[in-house]
Amino acid sequence: MNKRSLLIYGVVVVVLAGLGALATGLLVSIFERKSEAKNPYIHLVEVGEDDTDPAKWGVNWPKQYESYQLTALATRTRFGGHGGSEALPEQKIERDPWLKRIFLGYAFSIDYRDRRGHAYMLYDQEETKRLTKPQTGSCLHCHASVMPLYRELGGGDAMAGFEKSYQMSYQQMSAKLHESGHAHPVSCVDCHSAQTMKLRVTRPGFIKAIQALAASPAPLPQLPSIERWRATDRRAPYDPNLLASRTEMRSFVCGQCHVEYYCSSAMPLEFPWSKGLKVEDLEAHWNATTLPNGSRFYDYKHSESGAEILKAQHPEFELWSQGIHSRSGVACADCHMPYQRDGATKVSDHWVRSPLLNINRACQVCHHIEEKEILARVESIQARNFDLLQRAGKALVDQLDAIQAAKAAAATDEQLHQARELQRQAQWRLDFVAAENSMGFHAPQEAARILGEAVDLARQGQVAALKAKTAVPTESR
């Protein structure tokens, strides 16, 4: 080899070695990142089923824990988060006076506020003036990390403990929760398996209700794993933890609490899903339910009109299930817990809050349009829903006035029967949309349909009350 070719050879060797090192370096780095992405957790502490303290889990999963803690911060959008002071959210019943009127005779007319972040769920329940009326231990199902207590009450069987807990007073159950050291708001163990970190549902109310829903004939194109289970021999009930897809689980974990329910010392906590998830399916479920004293189901008697009223509670899961997003496989977590990049890993944002504070990660991953435009679209949906809601509220108040007038003219219970029934139906629909927390966004057309029916039923009820008034013979007026 002459000097020149030696030199070229040397250069080639150096370059190749350099490239090799570069390639190895790259491979190592890719490998590291891949394994980081595949197994991003180093278990520093063991966690188990009884570890309700999120701080302990936070040692293993600091990123998720850090964002989880941010739920203690106040947030606000036009309709989301809360108004009021840091100490207490604003009263809904003062902001919308018709709300207070329709709840007369019920604890919600005493104290009914905006929701806020998960960090406050136990505190806000303990502080509400609704507790000045006797309440049941079932309240804790959705406001605390309550599973170990259910197991304790049921001698190891959580379902059995749950079935008992409605007979305990709120105060008894709360004292036990605090004594046993589980007085935490919704915690890691409520949505994650301690062994695998996989999503799972724990709440007995949800598990019973989703099984009843699966067994119903209601079409459920938005929940394909239920449709698949229906095609089997159905010997074992539908088990969400075994059968649901990951996408479905990303909504089911929220459906453990963000749903319509009945909760009192008369019977175990119940979600009304045995006939489907639409507003009239839920109504049909309640209409087919009898209270232990044998009477038809109702939440309270309206103190002015005497109508037997159904109170709706935050049906986010149900309304979402009627919208285009659920139909397209978009889960609660997609919008409310979007991914954040952290090195090569993706971390789900555990600061559960309004997605409007987070449009770029919550919406723009799918909607490639400007943030301003997305916000404007949401605002137009919400503003229309708000206007229709006020209209329905006005219609119901007019109906209540008409019933009052008929009563003042000594109309009989029989004459008032139809007006009261129509109030029950109208108010159920109005309250369903009012108590739902997205101001119509989760299923805009469905919300408008429901409010349209509410206005119609309230006006029919007003007419029925006017008829009842004029039906009263003049001599008895």
Contacting ligand HEC within 430-469 (CB under 6 A): 437-439, 441-442, 444
Exposed/middle/buried for residue 252 (C-beta within 10 Å: 0-12, 13-18, 19+) = buried
- Contact set for ligand HEC, span 164-223 (CB under 6 A): 186-188, 190-192, 197, 199, 205
Alpha carbons 198 and 233: distance in angstroms, whole number: 27
Q: What angle do CA 42, 44, 48 make, to 5 degrees?
A: 105
Q: Which of 253, 282, 419, 465 binds ligand HEC (CB under 6 A)?
A: 253
- Contact set for ligand HEC, span 364-403 (CB under 6 A): 365-367, 374, 377-378
In this structure, are residues 379 and 387 in contact, taking their beta carbons and an 8 Å threshold?
Answer: no
Task: Give the dihedral sign, CA 250/253/257/261.
Answer: positive
Q: Which of 259, 312, 396, 403 binds ligand HEC (CB under 6 A)?
A: 259
The reply to whether 272 sits near ligand HEC by the rule CB under 6 A is: no
Give me the least distance between CB of 312 and ligand HEC, in Å please.
Answer: 10
Residue in the shown chain whose Cβ atom is closest to ligand HEC: 80
Closest residue by Cα to residue 49 from 147, 174, 185: 147
CA distances from 405 to 85, 86, 99, 307 (A): 39, 42, 20, 15
Single out the segment in contact with ligand HEC by CB under 6 A; choices: 18-26, 95-103, 174-182, 354-362.
Answer: 354-362
- Contact set for ligand HEC, span 118-157 (CB under 6 A): 118, 120-121, 124-125, 128, 130-131, 135, 138-139, 141-143
The reply to whether 106 sits near ligand HEC by the rule CB under 6 A is: no
Residue type, 268: P
Q: Which of 133, 246, 394, 477 binds ligand HEC (CB under 6 A)?
A: 246
Residue with smaller CB distance to ligand HEC, 161 or 461: 161
Closest residue by Cα to residue 302 from 454, 386, 451, 416: 416
Give me the least distance between CB of 122 and ligand HEC, in Å please.
Answer: 8
Which two structure tokens, joined as six digits, stand for 351? 């600061």
The DSSP annotation for 20-76 comes to HHHHHHHHHHHHHHHHHHHS----SS---TT---HHHHHHH-HHHHHHHHGGGS--B
Residue type, 163: E
Residue with smaller CB distance to ligand HEC, 214 or 352: 352
User: What's the count of helices (H) and strands (E) in the chain, helices before strands?
Assistant: 22, 6
Per-residue contact flags (x/-) with ligand HEC for residues 32 to 51, judged by CB under 6 A: --------------------
The reply to whether 109 sits near ligand HEC by the rule CB under 6 A is: no
The reply to whether 422 sits near ligand HEC by the rule CB under 6 A is: no
Single out the segment in contact with ligand HEC by CB under 6 A; choices: 227-235, 310-318, 383-391, 456-464.
Answer: 310-318
